[in-house]
Homo-oligomer: A and B are copies of this chain.
Amino acid sequence: MKSEKISDAVVRRMPVYLRYLNELHNRDVMTVSSQELGQNLDLNPAQIRKDLAYFGDFGRKGIGYDVAYLIEKIRQILNLDQEISVALVGAGNLGQALSNYNMYLKDNMKIVAVFDIAEAKIGTQINYLSVQPIAELPETVKKLGIRIGIITVPHWEAQRVADQLVEAGIQAILNFAPVILKVPPGVRVHAADFTTDLLSLAYYLDQGKEHSNES
């Protein structure tokens, strides 16, 4: 166990480990080596050992890592040993899709409220939650102890929504809108903007053969 500051790259790999470990657990696998983890996650085994060692001595030399134990530890690291309440702002198609994903994320993270700006959306049901007007955000955040906000509104509304989330006391934001949000220090924003990923894919296409009918 060290007490250096842990880099974002390391933190972001933790959920990846967790996911695969859960899979192993479901298959009743008891133990796993960094070697095997690396193979399946396309990562260097040394990196995996180093990542985990930042947080503690979780492995056993000659043996590997106990799957159930490591799951427990990573959940603690990620604060997922407590239930974390999430607010979704934007009840459009994407918001709808995410809230259905809820059941997947049995990882102690739960969308407990949905908000929208549009009058028409208010009161409609999304996955057993009634869409609330954004004016109710501060009160609901306080009442339900919401700590994370997900933004799925159109890009021109994203910054305003972010401001309101911050104002309401949210600590972290997952932003699906294709804009760079400005937030005060202490609030964490992760960009989940897939247009960036998609457009950058085009760079890697073979030049030339745009549309060939041969084979």
Which residues in A have some Cβ–Cβ distance to B below 8 Å?
A: 8, 11-12, 14-16, 18-19, 40-42, 77-80, 82, 84, 86, 92-94, 96-98, 100-101, 104-105, 107, 109, 142, 145, 147-148, 150, 169, 171-174, 176, 178, 180, 188, 190-192, 194-207, 210-213, 215
Candidate in A8, A98, A190, A198 with the most chain B CB atoms within 10 angstroms: A198
CB distance from A164 to the nearest CB of B (A): 16
| Contact (Cβ within 8 A) B210 A197 | no
Bound-complex Cα distance A142 to B145 (A):
52
26 contacts between A and B (CB under 8 A): A8-B200, A12-B196, A14-B203, A15-B196, A18-B199, A78-B202, A79-B207, A82-B210, A86-B198, A93-B93, A93-B97, A96-B97, A98-B194, A105-B198, A109-B202, A145-B210, A145-B211, A148-B202, A148-B205, A169-B215, A171-B205, A172-B202, A172-B205, A173-B201, A191-B197, A192-B198
Number of copies: 2
B residues in contact with A77, CB < 8 Å: 203
Bound-complex Cα distance A213 to B12 (A):
31
10 nearest A-B pairs in the assembled complex, by CB-CB distance = A145-B211, A93-B97, A15-B199, A94-B97, A188-B204, A172-B201, A190-B197, A192-B194, A79-B202, A15-B196
B residues in contact with A82, CB < 8 Å: 210
